């Protein structure tokens, strides 16, 4: 092979005419992994930042995954099993295997879970796995987003706060759709920041797609974050005001189009070819989304409150609406730990950056996370009922504000007042965390309060001491220790939740009675009872040649048996038992045709359907395994037809 000689110290080049074959390209998945790695942890970032990021991501994944199987929201789990069985039920989000009624939520997150079940088989892990992955991805995306606005220090702090947040940890250990919604809106925020920094409208298009998909997962809650996204682009985006306004209009139009696309498609289908829309009185997805799951939550009893009244079980204690709802009680222990320092960072940051350029990135960070936080706090404070896992949506904003606040404190470190304010914030956060802790609770360690107060006091003392000690390293160490001190209680709460097998409906250090109630509603006892009942139901089904195992008032009572068997349990009245499907005439025909014999319902209800069951069906001695529902055996008239098969 001929060569070309180079000067001393050079190399030898192959003759182009006899050059070797091109190198083998890496597999596509390795290229995508490398690209994703560069996205979340670029090579120009400090090595310690990348190490901290992947450490926090690993910790979060451990918190989400370890001992999480076995604690499912059984209503959603049953719907996922039905949706995984056939593509018709998958497309239309059917709750039951026969596809008579839909879920009472949009199916975005359940589609992901159903695909996981189809891929890995029916198992708790197959249902929980998507949330574990989505939660870990949220940590990575949040780091990338905060780094672009406030730098690697703020990004690492934000990733750490998100990883150990109790509301986030308990949420991602279950099968609730909020996990996917949070990931998608953080991706949307990252895309908007891309539009702010690069000026490309395609980033706004991508952001609109992310918000639209988040709407498919959690409906109007995803739209609550649109003001934050729009404001940061309108204020900090490139170009003239008209150009930015046009970008906002494009973003809004595409968001609405993507959000409503599935609803419009399903609504255009003939009612007889799809399940009845649960949560509506007129078979309408728009009623389900905008009334039942939307504005109706502001002034009407929640679906869970109606459900508990229907089946006759007591209400679980909940913090009533009010301006202080999110900073005390169970919601305070979910996310309230960091609300005061986050709001302090917001006020101080906006004042400190007031005269900076319109496109100042730290101010853009404050506008994004501050609007996000304030909008959610306002809505959650006035809603009639708020589940504990809702508060996880506050966590990205809290994490972003705390991370940005640390950077602002360092940037203004030469001002004595800033150091004093940081010291006051460290001590106040510790005192507030100690005040939030209940006198007794599940897994509450006795050392937590003194350690929290001591850590806060040491952090405050170090920040005050930095006023007289010149080396800046002391201030940096003091700020780092202040953040660590603020995370003592949340980290302990998250670890306790993991050790005690808590799930999405649990709160840190909850009373033992509340923990036991959650286990009865969502723990393994529910499914064990359904499994024991299944043998009896299958015997009756064979004995009387019925198509369905039974019928139940509310889909929630039907859910454990559907999840255990994959067979049809007819859900009368939908999620809360008060829905209009099926009608009384339809119910009579189902009984006459022998579709089911056993019914779990409240025969004394004012609803004419259940009153008819109480009058025309035989009351069986004993009660249903839940609430005040009774057991009824319905016989068809002599000579009536029976279902084939």
Under a CB-based contact definition with an 8 Å cutoff, are residues 145 and 387 in contact?
Answer: no
When mean pLDDT is compared across 29-33, 88-92, 584-588, the lowest value belongs to 29-33
252 lies in which domain range?
A: 187-292
> What pLDDT is stored for residue 386 in this prediction?
84
3-state helix, strand, coil in the chain (%, to 5): 65, 5, 30
pLDDT above 50: residue 131 = yes
> What pLDDT is stored for residue 644 in this prediction?
39
Domain assignment present for residue 593? The answer is: yes
> What pLDDT is stored for residue 307 in this prediction?
77
**Hey, what are 209's tokens?**
């797609």
CA–CA dist 192, 251 (Å, integer)? 10
When mean pLDDT is compared across 178-187, 471-480, 534-543, the lowest value belongs to 471-480
Domain assignment present for residue 36? The answer is: no
**Among the three residues 255, 276, 292, which one is the final residue of a domain in this structure?**
292
For the stretch 459-482, pLDDT in tens is 999 888 888 776 767 888 888 999
For the stretch 7-57, pLDDT in tens is 444 433 334 344 444 455 677 666 666 666 665 556 667 888 889 999 999
* Residue spans of alpha helices (H) in 414-554: 416-436, 448-465, 472-486, 488-499, 512-522, 524-544
Confidence at 439, pLDDT banded by 50, 70, 90: confident
> What pLDDT is stored for residue 312 in this prediction?
67
> What pLDDT is stored for residue 520 in this prediction?
64
Which position has the higher pLDDT, 532 or 111?
Answer: 111
Calculate the alpha carbon distances from 355 to 346, 359, 376 in Å. 15, 11, 28
pLDDT above 70: residue 316 = no
Region 512-536: mean pLDDT is: 74
Counts of helices then strands in the chain (DSSP H, E): 29, 7
CA–CA dist 596, 611 (Å, integer)? 17
Beta partners for residue 572, in sequence order: 553
Q: Which phi and psi angles does 94 have, rounded to 5°?
A: -70, 140
CA–CA dist 417, 562 (Å, integer)? 62
pLDDT above 70: residue 518 = no
When mean pLDDT is compared across 79-88, 98-107, 345-354, 600-609, the lowest value belongs to 600-609
Pairing of strands 569-572, 550-553: parallel
Neighbours of 567 (CB within 10 A): 18
pLDDT above 70: residue 514 = no
Region 573-600: mean pLDDT is: 91
Confidence at 494, pLDDT banded by 50, 70, 90: very high
Q: ∠ at Cα 180 (176, 183), nearest 5°?
A: 140
Domain assignment present for residue 616? The answer is: yes
CA-based nearest residue to 90, from 80, 78, 98, 100: 80
Confidence at 531, pLDDT banded by 50, 70, 90: confident
Domain assignment present for residue 339? The answer is: no
Domain assignment present for residue 13? The answer is: no
When mean pLDDT is compared across 86-90, 206-210, 423-427, 509-513, the lowest value belongs to 509-513
> What pLDDT is stored for residue 379 in this prediction?
94
> What pLDDT is stored for residue 184 in this prediction?
98
pLDDT above 90: residue 146 = yes
Domains held by the chain: number: 2
Share of residues in the chain with pLDDT > 70 (%): 87
> What pLDDT is stored for residue 524 in this prediction?
67
CA-based nearest residue to 458, from 426, 431, 428, 434: 426
Sheet holding 618-623, edge to edge: 569-572, 550-553, 598-601, 630-633, 618-623
Under a CB-based contact definition with an 8 Å cutoff, are residues 299 and 384 in contact?
Answer: yes
**Among the three residues 257, 292, 327, which one is the final residue of a domain in this structure?**
292
DSSP secondary structure string for all residues of 328-372? SHHHHHHTGGGHHHHHHHHHHHHHHTTTS-TT-HHHHHHHHHHHH
Confidence at 623, pLDDT banded by 50, 70, 90: low
CA–CA dist 421, 428 (Å, integer)? 10
**How many CA atoms are closer than 13 Å to the CA of 122, on its beta-carbon side?**
14
pLDDT above 60: residue 540 = yes
Cis preceding-peptide flag for 582 (omega within 30 of 0) = yes
Domain assignment present for residue 274? The answer is: yes
Residue 3 three-state SS: strand
**Total residues belonging to the chain:** 645
CA–CA dist 128, 136 (Å, integer)? 13
CA–CA dist 143, 158 (Å, integer)? 7
CA-based nearest residue to 491, from 370, 327, 373, 338: 338
> What pLDDT is stored for residue 637 in this prediction?
63
Mean pLDDT of the chain: 87
Confidence at 108, pLDDT banded by 50, 70, 90: very high
Domain assignment present for residue 617? The answer is: yes
- Dihedral sign of CA atoms 61, 66, 69, 75 in order: negative
Which position has the higher pLDDT, 205 or 642?
Answer: 205
Region 523-529: mean pLDDT is: 74
CA–CA dist 632, 467 (Å, integer)? 77
Share of residues in the chain with pLDDT > 90 (%): 59
CA–CA dist 126, 116 (Å, integer)? 6
**Among the three residues 238, 273, 292, which one is the final residue of a domain in this structure?**
292
When mean pLDDT is compared across 327-331, 391-395, 517-521, the lowest value belongs to 517-521
The single residue listed with the structure tokens 């719907």 is: 79
DSSP secondary structure string for all residues of 233-260? HHHH-SS-HHHHHHHHHHHHHHHHHHHH
CA–CA dist 631, 620 (Å, integer)? 5
For the stretch 244-259, pLDDT in tens is 999 999 999 999 999 9
> What pLDDT is stored for residue 67 in this prediction?
81
CA–CA dist 252, 192 (Å, integer)? 12
Domain assignment present for residue 33? The answer is: no
Q: Round the CA-based radius of gyration of the chain to a whole number and report it.
A: 28
């Amino acid at each position: 092979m001929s060569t070309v000689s180079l000067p001393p110290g050079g190399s030898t080049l192959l003759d182009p005419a006899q050059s070797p074959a091109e190198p083998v390209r890496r597999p596509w998945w390795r290229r995508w992994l490398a690209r994703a790695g560069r996205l979340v942890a670029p090579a120009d970032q400090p090595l310690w930042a990348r190490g901290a990021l992947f450490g926090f991501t690993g910790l979060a994944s451990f918190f989400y995954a370890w001992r999480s199987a076995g604690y499912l929201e059984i209503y959603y789990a049953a719907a996922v099993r039905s949706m995984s069985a056939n593509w018709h039920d998958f497309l239309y989000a059917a709750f039951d295997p026969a596809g008579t009624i839909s879920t009472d939520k949009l199916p975005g997150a359940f589609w992901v879970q159903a695909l996981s079940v189809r891929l890995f088989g029916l198992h708790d892990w197959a249902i929980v796995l998507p949330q574990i992955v989505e939660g870990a991805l949220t940590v990575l995306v949040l780091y990338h987003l905060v780094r672009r606005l406030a730098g690697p220090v703020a990004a690492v702090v934000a990733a750490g706060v998100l990883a150990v947040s109790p509301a986030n940890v308990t949420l991602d250990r279950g099968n609730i759709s909020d996990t996917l919604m949070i990931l998608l809106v953080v991706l949307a925020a990252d895309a908007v920041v891309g539009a702010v920094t690069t000026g490309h409208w395609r980033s706004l298009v991508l952001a609109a797609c992310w918000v639209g998909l988040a709407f498919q997962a959690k409906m109007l809650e995803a739209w609550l974050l649109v003001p934050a996204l729009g404001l940061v682009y309108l204020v900090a985006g490139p170009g003239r005001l008209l150009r930015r306004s046009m970008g906002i209009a494009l973003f809004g139009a595409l968001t609405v189009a993507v959000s409503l696309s599935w609803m419009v498609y399903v609504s255009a289908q003939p009612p007889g070819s799809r399940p009845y829309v649960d949560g509506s009185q007129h078979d309408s997805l728009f009623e389900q989304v905008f009334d039942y799951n939307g504005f109706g939550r502001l002034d009407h009893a929640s679906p869970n409150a109606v459900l508990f009244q229907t089946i006759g079980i007591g209400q679980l204690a909940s913090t009533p609406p009010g301006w202080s709802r999110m900073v005390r009680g169970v919601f305070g222990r979910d996310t309230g730990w960091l609300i005061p320092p986050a709001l302090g960072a917001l006020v101080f940051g906006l004042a400190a950056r007031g005269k900076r350029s319109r496109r100042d990135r730290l101010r853009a960070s404050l506008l994004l996370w501050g609007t996000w936080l304030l909008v959610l706090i306002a809505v959650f404070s006035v809603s009639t009922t708020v589940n504990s896992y809702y508060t996880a949506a506050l966590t990205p904003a809290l994490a972003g504000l705390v991370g940005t606040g640390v950077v602002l404190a360092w940037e203004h470190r030469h001002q004595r007042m800033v150091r004093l304010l940081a010291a006051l914030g460290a001590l106040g956060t510790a005192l507030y965390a100690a005040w939030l802790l209940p006198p007794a609770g599940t897994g509450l360690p006795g050392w937590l309060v003194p350690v929290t107060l001591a850590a806060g006091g040491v952090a405050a003392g170090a920040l005050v001491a930095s006023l007289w000690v010149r080396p800046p390293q002391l201030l940096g160490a003091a700020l780092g220790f202040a953040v660590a001190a603020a995370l003592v209680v949340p980290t302990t709460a998250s670890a306790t939740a993991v050790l005690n097998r808590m799930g999405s409906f649990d709160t840190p250090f909850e009373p033992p009675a509340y923990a036991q109630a959650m286990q009865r509603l969502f723990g393994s006892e529910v499914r064990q009872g359904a499994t024991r009942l299944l043998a009896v139901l299958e015997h009756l089904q064979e004995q009387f040649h019925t198509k369905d195992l039974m019928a139940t008032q509310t889909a929630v009572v039907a859910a454990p048996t559907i999840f255990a068997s994959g067979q049809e349990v007819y859900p009368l009245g939908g999620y809360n038992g008060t829905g209009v499907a099926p009608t009384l005439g339809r119910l009579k025909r189902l009984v006459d045709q022998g579709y089911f014999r056993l019914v779990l319902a409240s025969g004394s209800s004012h609803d004419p359907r259940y009153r008819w069951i109480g009058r025309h069906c035989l009351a069986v001695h004993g009660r249903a395994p839940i609430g005040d529902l009774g057991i009824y055996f319905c016989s068809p008239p002599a000579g009536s037809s029976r279902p084939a098969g």
